[in-house]
Amino acid sequence: SKPDLHHGFSNDADKHNVGIHEFVHLVDMADGQTDGFPERVTKYEYCAPWFEFVHHKINEMENSSSNINDYATTNSAEFFAVSSEYFFERPKMLKKKHPKLYEYLSQFYQQNLAELEADVAPKKNAPCPCGSGKKYKRCCMPAS
């Protein structure tokens, strides 16, 4: 919906963005199928490892708790879209907690967003980017 789209871009730290999610489905669909394996992946050496990794990660998430939204376990297309939301919204967190997933998405998108995010981290007394209204240091700031 339009409100969900606006919310996704107004809160860049909640790991949920309908615009990114649906755009990733369009990227995935460029080869004629929405299957979580976009054409770009199939042309590179990490194609087979990506296929195996996706299935392994979905199984892992189904059998244990994960900080990635459970919707990602629906199928490989949703896994690709949901994990891409995390890649663009919380790259440092994704790199820390799911380094292999971050590495694959970084290769696919040709971006190293975790390094860029370090340049724009909020100050500890600034409002938390999650939108809670609390100070960053009392909300989402990682413990040192």
Contact present, 100 and 111 (Cβ < 8 Å): no
For residue 31, the tally of other CB atoms under 10 A from its CB is 15
pTM (predicted TM-score):
0.72
Q: Cα 67–71–77 angle (5° rounding)?
A: 115
Which pLDDT tens digit goes with each residue over 19-61? 788 889 998 898 888 888 787 766 666 677 888 999 999 999 9
Which pLDDT tens digit goes with each residue over 95-125? 999 999 999 999 888 888 878 755 566 778 8
User: In angstroms, rounded to a whole number, what is the distance separating the alpha carbons of residues 142 and 123?
Assistant: 12
CATH number for the domain running over 2-138: 3.40.390.10
Residue 96 main-chain phi, psi, to 5 deg:
-70, -45
